[in-house]
Chain A
Amino acid sequence: MADVEGPVAPVPQESGYLEVRGISKSYPGVRALNDVDFDVRLGEVHALVGENGAGKSTLVKILAGAERPDAGTISIAGNRVAIASPAQSEALGIAVIYQEFNLVGELTVAENVLLGREPTRGIAIDWRAMRARVAAIFARLGVTMPIQAPVKTLSVAQQQMVEIAKALSVDARIIFMDEPSAALTTNEVERLFTVIRALKQARVGIVYISHRLEEISEIADRITVFRDGRHIQTGSASEFSEGDIVRLMVGRTLEAHFPTLPAPAAATAAPLLSVQHLSLAGRIENVSFDVMPGEIVGLAGLVGAGRTSLLRAICGLERAASGSLALEGSNLRLRGPHDAIAAGLALVTDDRKGQGLILGMTVRENVTLAHLELFSHGGHINRAQETAAVAKLAVELNIRMPSIEQVARALSGGNQQKVVLAKWLLEKSKLICFDEPTRGIDVGAKHEIYEIMVALAASGTGIIMASSELPEILGMSTRIIVMREGRVVGRFHAGEATQEHVMALATGARPAAA
């Protein structure tokens, strides 16, 4: 990099270097960004906060050149620009460090930093110049780095530094960091902050996207809150208490109208599932709770809080390090998903396309995959019985498709989710774990999924629902469990919890100075 006073004219401190005005972006069925303003100054750390779905990542994608806005303007140093491709974004001095790094594990640090821009002598790579340039970048960051080591041998924190160095090597003036601390230890976060301060000194603007409010109060100069695709407030960090931020982030309007929940189980009822002191190395720690028949237990928490790991452990996909599971009073020993399914436990994963469905197979084949034994005699599948059973479920769940012989790939998200659900209703499951049950689903289908869940609960099925959407947690749970960093940090009965309260527990925010 990064002769910072380089070709750009000096910018007055108070106006933003990067300015976004009136940006809107819609996807089918979703208004992801609605007339949003945002600006970043050189030499500041600007925290961007908001719940999942608030529009942060859409904004980042637009500025990274991965998406085009429907309306609005972007200007850099006062000049209007159009960002049509990632290459243009890079040329304009914008860099994005995603949670998933863009590094080639087999190549060395130096090769990664200058990938595609290797210094050459003639047609050969000038290795010495490459090492010198990369070493200089890390020196400026004040980071010691084995620049000859393959990137795959580095820790996550070190890989992040490689990403930062990569951004500096292309003279990035604005760096977006998406949840940069998510995978770091406390010490590593401190070191990251040291580097961020060095970047500030070098007059690089940082956009820091995070859910961890304590970090934001420590590092941010300014804070912007998004909610439901709208810009809610921007101000100097000192103006906000953590409680204020939480209040601004939540308070989402309940766009979906939730069905009436079943009555809470009698206190005397025997638990359907009992989770006792469950631990999974590094991911969940000493989690205990019960699920009564007909209950919908909402699991709230941020990404990485351990909700998915917990569901996977319950459904036999992860081996718990310690603790026990009991279904209807008898101990469960799950050696794999097969045992869990046989016991009547089902998991509707948050990754329909990757884990829930076989996209190239028909609706019929997908629905019956887990329970083909119901229609087979000595290994031979009775096609007529299979078709009849799937047809019945398709009507029950109102799956919209030309026919059950349609391949799953061609269905909309909501209908795909119903297919996944049908798979676990073919043979009635006792307990169904939903991980983000309405992710990527339009509002109408969302409501249908909710109604199916409530109908299931009313028929005595136990439900555990992990969700990042607070309205969904509050509107759909008969009981709420809040997780943070692998532990249970709060428990509520329906109606007791507020969005602020749950979010404060999930983020570890100190109570509002109200």
Chain B
Amino acid sequence: MVDEARAVEVQAAAEAADKRKRFIAGLRAAGIVVGLIVLFGILNAVTHGDFLAPNNVLNILRQIAVIAVLAAGQTFVIITAGIDLSVGSLIALTGVLMAGMLAGASNPVAGVFLAIAVGLGVGGAAGVVNGFPVVKFNLPPFITTLAMLDIARGLAFLYTGGRPIEIDNTIFDFVGSGFLLPGLGRMLKIPGIPTSVLIMLAVIVVGQFVLTQTRFGRYVYAIGGNEEAARLSGINVAGVKLSVYVISGALAGLASLMLAARLSSGIPQSGGGDELLNSIAAVVVGGTSLMGGRGSMTGTFVGALLIGMLYNLMNLLNVQSYAQDVVLGAVILAAVLLDELRRRYLASR
């Protein structure tokens, strides 16, 4: 009794609508790219060619790698309408633990594997501790992750006695400061593509795939959009919510690995600066709603890139560091405001 021909029509219409949506998105992206090229050209001229020099671009990407990986985890959490405040401290805790593992290992190769396992494992375990009270007792994630922020920082200091642990392991250092793809590097007159940048890109690509192409990703959006409707649809809401905190914790461990390898040490004070706030800023600037249900990983990457470029540019222009903070805050506010206005404009049409 189903009208097959009509069904095919509706399906075709859906595919057309999908295509149209992608075309418009592509057009918009193209517009943004053109705009950015013009802007970059101007900025490049202003900085006498420093801004777009391959080495400088590489610098920007290396500088945002840690933030972008943290922000990737944060994106999952924020789309479910949660927040993870503990990521900065988890950098410190997992960093000193990894350094400790490497120092204690007899075999350097085994030490690297052990360190990575401990870094990601402890980060993920901290995510369980963050998420469990949220899903079981309905505590606000703001509170549970704030508690973890203190606990992880304290544990990092307890473990080290407040002193950095040096890392003397060339394999491990490679992750933070090594270069891959030397052929590509020669073309661009740089040593290669930094490992940390490749890790960041892999995290973003996998994250975007998981969010848009898998059941898990669909559930993440559904829970952020309407948790009760998601529950009534039979979704394991507790499991998905717990998972996003585990992902965020584990990615904090990965970010810590990149940072510790770059600094060749596990430092209990690390991750105590702007890491947390910049990771949230990248997500928000990238168009993800703090109310949940909406956002994307590519947006987060663009957000991190924007913040990184802004810092870099201000450094090239010798903007005083206190003034940099003022500018960054203003840009975050303006970006989110513009996004909101654009959304309202689209909704009103």
Contacts and interface: CB of A to CB of B under 8 A. Distances in A.
B343 to A, nearest CB: 11
B14 A358 contact: no
Interface stretch (B1-9, B53-61, B110-118, B145-153): B1-9
B164 interface: no
B325 interface: no
A256 interface: no
16 contacts: A338-B235, A341-B233, A347-B232, A349-B232, A355-B229, A358-B221, A358-B226, A369-B229, A376-B214, A379-B215, A380-B213, A395-B2, A395-B6, A403-B10, A403-B13, A404-B17
A381 B225 contact: no
Contacts of A349: 232
Interface in B206-237: 213-216, 218, 221-222, 225-226, 228-236
A367 to B, nearest CB: 10
Top 9 closest A-B pairs, CB basis?
A: A391-B11, A403-B17, A358-B225, A391-B10, A341-B234, A370-B233, A405-B17, A338-B234, A392-B7
Contacts of A359: 225-226
Nearest to B225: A358
Interface residues of B, number: 35
Interface string A362-387: 00110001101100100111010001
Given A369-B222, A391-B14, A355 B3 contact: no
A372 to B, nearest CB: 5
Interface in A310-340: 317, 336-338, 340
Interface in B232-258: 232-236
A6 interface: no
Contacts of A370: 233-235
A359 B1 CA distance: 30
A296 to B, nearest CB: 20
Contacts of A364: 14
A396 to B, nearest CB: 5
A356 interface: yes
Interface of A: 317, 336-338, 340-342, 347, 349, 354-361, 364-365, 369-370, 372-373, 376, 379-381, 383, 387-388, 390-392, 394-396, 402-405, 423
B15 interface: yes
Contacts of B163: none
A379 B218 CA distance: 10
Given A365-B218, A379-B215, A395-B2, A403 B14 contact: yes
Interface string B1-33: 111001110110111111001000000000000
A379 B11 contact: no
A404 B11 CA distance: 8
A387 B233 contact: no
A337 B232 contact: yes
Contacts of A360: 225, 293-294
